[in-house]
Every structure is written in C-alpha cells, then in structure tokens.
Amino acid sequence: MIFSAQGLAKRYGRVEALGGVDLAVDAGELVGLLGPNGAGKSTLVKIAVGLVRPSSGTATVCGAPAGSAAARAALGYLAELFRFPGWYSADELLALHQRLARSAGGERERRDLLELVGLSDARDRRVEAMSKGMQQRLGIAQALIGSPKVLFLDEPTSALDPAGRRTVRRLLEQLKDRGVAVLLNSHLLSEIELVCDRVTILLDGRVVAEGAPSALARPRGVEIETDEGVRLFDTAAREDAPRLVEELVASGRRVYGVRVLTSTLEDVYLEYVGEEAA
Amino acid sequence: MNGAMTIVGYAIKESVRKKMFLVVLLLTGVFIGLFWLGTNELFQEVDDISPPAGIDATTLVGATTLGLGMFGTLFLGTVLAVFLTLSAVRGDAERGLLQPLVVRPLGRATFLGARFAGAVAVCALYVIAVYGATVAIVQLEGGWEPDRLVAPAVELAVAVSILAGLSLLGSVFLSATANGVAVFMVFGAGLVAGLLGQIGEALDSETLRNLAHDASWILPFEALYQDGLHRLTADTGGFTGFVLQLGPFGGAQAGGDRLFPWVVAYVALLAVVALAGFARKDL
C-alpha cells in the first residue's frame, strides 16, 4: 500500500473538517477525490503531505507516518493554491527543488520534466512572465522531481486550457504505467471519470461513496431507435437489450440502433452530495 | 545540511530580489549622504568653537555624530530585518509560497533556522557596511576615531539579528501586517526605554535608570545598542566624558559581562518558542 489513511479526523476548533476517513491507494493506482467545497478533500491531502496534523487517526506514505521525512521523501505534491518566487526561471526553480528533494537527476531530469509538461521552450523564462496555466504545468513538473512513488495533486488542472488538460491526462496515464500512485483532487468530474481507477466522494468530512466510476454508475434504461422513432425502456438493464430487440423485430418494427444508458459520474456525484451542496 | 544551505541561499536571493531591498538601499544612500554633509558642516565649525577648558571639541562632535550614525544604522537595519522576515511563515503560507518548500524532506526546524541564517547574513553585512561608512566619514571629516572600533559593529549586527529573530517568531503566529506593526512597536519600546535611561542618567534618577535597565534586559537589542554606544567613548574621561554623558548619545550604559550570555540564551528562547509554534502549525 503506497498511501493509507485510517480513521483520519481533523478538527479546526469547533469545525470538523474530517470525521474519520479510511482510504487506501496502491502502486500504479489513480484515485480521484471528489466532494463539494468544505468536504475535507484538501485537508485530507494536506495531512498526507505533512502540512496539517490530524486530530486523530493515522496516515502512512510508503509505510512511513505522514509528515515524517521518509514519507515526504517519497511523495510529490502540487497545492491547490501555490505560488513560486517570480524571479526564478523554470530551470532554476526545478534545480532548487532537486536540491531540496535530494534528487540526483541533474540537468537531464529537469529537461525531461519540462518536456513532459510542454514547457521546453520556457526553460529560461521567469515564473513572473508565465501565464497561470504555464505555472500550473511547472508546478506539476516540480511535483515530479525525484521520481516520487506517490503524487498528491490538488486541483492540478484548474487553470489549464483544454489542450493543457489533455497533456496532464496523458501524463497521469504515463505515471500510472510507471507504477506511480496518484491521489487526484479535482472538481472536474469529466477528468476524473476519464483517468481515475477509483473515486472517493467526501461529504462533510466523511466518505459517502467509493469505487470504480463504472461500478458507481447506475443503469438508466435502454434506448432503441426504430422506424417509429426512439423508444426508452427506463427499467430495462443491459441484459434485457437482446430480448427487447427481438420483441420489436417480431412485432414488425425496424431497429436502427440500441443504447444502454448508465448514469455519468456527475449524476452519481449529485446523487450523493445533493444539488445544493454541489 | 545541503537542504539547509539551499534554504539559506534561497532566503538571501529572496532578500536581495525584493523591491524593499532597493528601497532600503536608496534610503541608505540618502542617509549616508546627509550624514556626510552634516558631519562635514559640524567639523568645519569645530574650529570656531571655543569650548571651556578641558573639553575636546573634536571628540565631542565625533562621538555625537557617530552616535547618531549608530542610531540611523540600527533603524535602517531594523527596517531591513523586519521586512525580510515578517511574512516568512504565515504570510508566505497564505500566499502559497511556503507549502512547496516545506513538503520536501527538510524538516521545519531546519527550514526556520535556515531562514533566520539567511536574514542574519544579509542584515549583519548591511549593518556592518553602513556602520563602517559612518566611521569612515567621521574619520575623514574630523580625524576622530571611536575608542572601540569593531565591538560596536558586532553589537549592532547582533542587535539587528535579535530583531530578525523576533520578527521570524512573530511570523509564525501573526499575519505579515500585524507582525510588522508588533515588531516595530517592540523596537520603539526599546528606544523609549533607552531614552528614559539617558534622561535618568542626566537627572540622576534611580527609578528611570532601573526602568531602562530592566527594559534593556527584556529587549536585549537595546542593551547591545547602548553597550555599543558606550564603547565609542569607553576610554574618554575627564570633563569631555562628562559632557558627552549629557548629550543625546552619551548616557549609554555598558552592558556588563552578563549581556552576551543573556543574548545567547534569549535567542535560544526565541528559537524554542518559534520552532514549537511552527512544528504545531497547520499550513
């Protein structure tokens, strides 16, 4: 287990940010963390990377207690709200983090990471001269310094354009193939649905749903296109589709298409957290 | 150690890149220029002064102007120390600058210690350079040198380092603005205590002297400044020494043998409180 949280709770005064969360992330697994604002997602990630101390419960990173030097040596982190000193160039910033992360990757690692996030041409550009999207991509490169075993990404695509998001999506898939575990905190449900193996939905500091996006999805009927138009069989499941087609053909209808309907991750999410909270 | 040196380098680089550093350099240029002009004028008029028998006018003018120079150096050094450190923890955390650094396997104690070392390196060099400039101007214009040359510079540097430590401690608990206000008020309190001590000296008031003495132990940067001032004319006696004591920078008290051990203990105490606060702080 690369990351594990057991009974993790955090209180800020009277406010309960986390109310006993259990979560596990394996090597090469990409887990999405979902929930409305104030659900405790960022608090959970901050405990994992050692920025926040839990009120109770335990969290480990690669077997070491979260927040310990060994745990921090094994992880990469991109905060939701981050800023890099404006006077650093992209290359200088990565060099700074190489020294702090004790990475021996040298210039090659910096060059590869900048290429990976599409910033090869901005190697010598100062951070203050970069757009927010470029800074976010640089932040991802910074998180990958030292080849971490687990990545904690808090809203990594919030400032990216569609092309930037696709770059990050491909990057996450590459990391997964390399065995890197990723805990991805994002409001972009479509992103999560596309890349994550599992999702965990938090509400008021508690896990309300967990599983693969396909397993969480609910059947919403079967839609069949005939010569009389589209007919919806809203109580039918995928297994019912061949029988329904047979019955329609037997009754003299021409069938042009069949679609098995399932709820999207957005539907599932709204079902658990409610329209108001979302 | 490598990580600590990286943060020291980062802090120094950050210090000299800040616009505020440029402002301090400009103010320093203005201060040095005015100080030079004033010193030149005063020493030109020394020849026209006919002081009472036993008073050395050159020493009187030299010690007074250099005392003023030390005060200006301490003030500018404090401005620099405070602005370099006032947002080192909470302020930087609120802006998102701190988190990417402290998640690295470095340790918060190492991080804070390295930030302090970086600020001290910049401030100490600055204070010693400005003090050296004022001494050079006084020597050039009036041919007067203080009785102790190096010790006041070291004491000014340590005094500014204590203020950097206080500001760094404040940055753990307070927002940047609140911390800046608090540290300047503490600095002001120290100066007021020093002035009360000098008034007490002139009026021979035991109460005021005790008050200033106690305050300088609570705020040892003031005791160091006073001790440095005292050392400028440590060997000057007679009527000149007496008249100097009545002047604005002359009633300074010697710190005594216990001052430096107390300064070390004080800085250690600041470090313990700051590290304990930072270790428990949620970022």
Task: Quick: pLDDT tens for B169-218.
Answer: 999 999 999 999 999 999 999 988 888 887 887 788 888 888 888 888 89
Cβ distance of B103 and A52 shorter than 8 Å: no
| Spans of all domains in chain B | 2-280
pLDDT per residue as tens digits for the range B139-169: 999 888 898 899 999 999 999 999 999 999 9
pLDDT at position A76 is 95
Q: Compute the mean pLDDT over every residue in chain B, rounded to the nearest whole number.
A: 88
Number of Cβ pairs < 8 A linking chain A and chain B: 67
CA distance B178 to chain A (A): 22
pLDDT at position A271 is 85
Kindly state whether A164 is in contact with chain B, defined as any CB-CB distance less than 8 angstroms.
no
pTM comes to 0.85
pLDDT per residue as tens digits for the range A121-175: 999 999 999 998 899 999 999 999 999 999 999 988 887 888 888 888 888 888 8
From residue B6, how far is each of A19, A76, A99, B2 by CA, in Å? Answer: 38, 19, 7, 6
Q: Is the pLDDT of residue B239 over 70?
A: no
Per-residue tokens: A45:
């990630």
ipTM, 2 decimals? 0.83
Q: What is the DSSP letter of B67?
A: H
pLDDT per residue as tens digits for the range A85-132: 999 999 999 999 999 999 999 999 999 999 988 899 999 999 999 998
Kindly state whether A140 is in contact with chain B, defined as any CB-CB distance less than 8 angstroms.
no
pLDDT at position B74 is 95
Sort out which chain A residues have CB atoms less than 8 A from B10's CB and list them.
96
Cβ distance of B96 and A52 shorter than 8 Å: no
The proportion of chain B whose per-residue pLDDT surpasses 90, expressed as a percent, equals: 58
pLDDT per residue as tens digits for the range B41-63: 988 887 777 766 667 778 888 88
Per-residue tokens: B17:
């890149």
Q: Is the pLDDT of residue A278 over 60?
A: no
**Nearest one of A24, A3, A4 to A76, comparing CA atoms:** A3
Q: Is the pLDDT of residue B103 over 60?
A: yes
pLDDT at position B244 is 65
Whole-angstrom distance, CA of residue B131 vs CA of residue B144? 15
CA distance B174 to chain A (A): 17
Whole-angstrom distance, CA of residue A187 vs CA of residue A265? 12
Cβ distance of B96 and A81 shorter than 8 Å: yes
pLDDT at position A54 is 95
Task: Identify from B16, B98, B103 which residue to disrupt to test chain A contact, counting A C-beta atoms within 10 A and taking the largest count.
Answer: B103
